[in-house]
Amino acid sequence: LSNAAPPDAKMIPLLEGSGPDDQGYIHESLCELRFRVHPSAFFQVNTAACCVLYKLVAGWVAEPDSPSGGAGQPSGIKTLLLDVCCGTGTIGLTMANSVNKVIGVDIVESAIADARH
């Protein structure tokens, strides 16, 4: 896992496992949820900005009887959130309480395992 960082920033090496259930991952928090992240999985690095954005979008797509208020959809409409290239599932999982169903799709097997974790 890497991001732009000063040259003297402390780096934490991870062991790369041979499959999605092997050790070699970290845990990150985003919008009061905890995510498991393997080195090959995508995860947003600016969690504070992502949380603000995800909560805004969740309000737009919310079901009328959802915990987030449901201003976005007329009564009787069932919302399916298709999270394409979902990585560890941050978008789908943070919006799961606002929609009727979430389907996450990604080609990285360990990312799907992380999202299901």
Domain annotation covers residue 9: no
83 is in an annotated binding site: no
The answer to whether residue 6 sits within a structural domain is: no
Dist. CA 114–CA 35, nearest whole Å: 7
* Per-residue pLDDT tens digits for 96-108: 988 889 999 999 8
Is 23 annotated as contributing to ligand binding?
Answer: no
User: pLDDT tens-digit profile of 48-99?
Assistant: 999 999 988 888 887 665 555 555 555 566 788 999 999 889 999 998 988 8
Q: Is residue 17 part of a domain?
A: no
Q: How many domains does the chain have?
A: 1
Residues 6+ apart with CB under 8 A from 61: 72, 73, 79, 81, 95, 98, 99
Asked if residue 36 is part of any domain, the answer here is yes
Domain membership of residue 10 (yes or no) is: no
Residue 46 scores a pLDDT above 50: yes
Do the domain assignments include residue 105? yes
Query: Would the pLDDT of 17 be above 80?
Result: no
How far is residue 86's CA from residue 115's CA, in Å, rounded to a whole number? Answer: 8
Please indicate, yes or no, if residue 102 is contained in any of the structural domains: yes
Domain enclosing residue 79, as ranges: 26-116
Dihedral through CA 90, CA 103, CA 95, CA 40, nearest 10?
A: 0
Banded pLDDT at 15 (limits 50, 70, 90): low
d(Cα 89, Cα 60) in Å, to the nearest integer?
Answer: 19
Return the pLDDT at 1: 45
Determine, yes or no, domain membership for 66.
yes
Show the CA angle centred on residue 37, arms to residues 36 and 42, nearest 5°.
Answer: 135
| Per-residue confidence (pLDDT) for residue 65, from 0 to 100 | 59
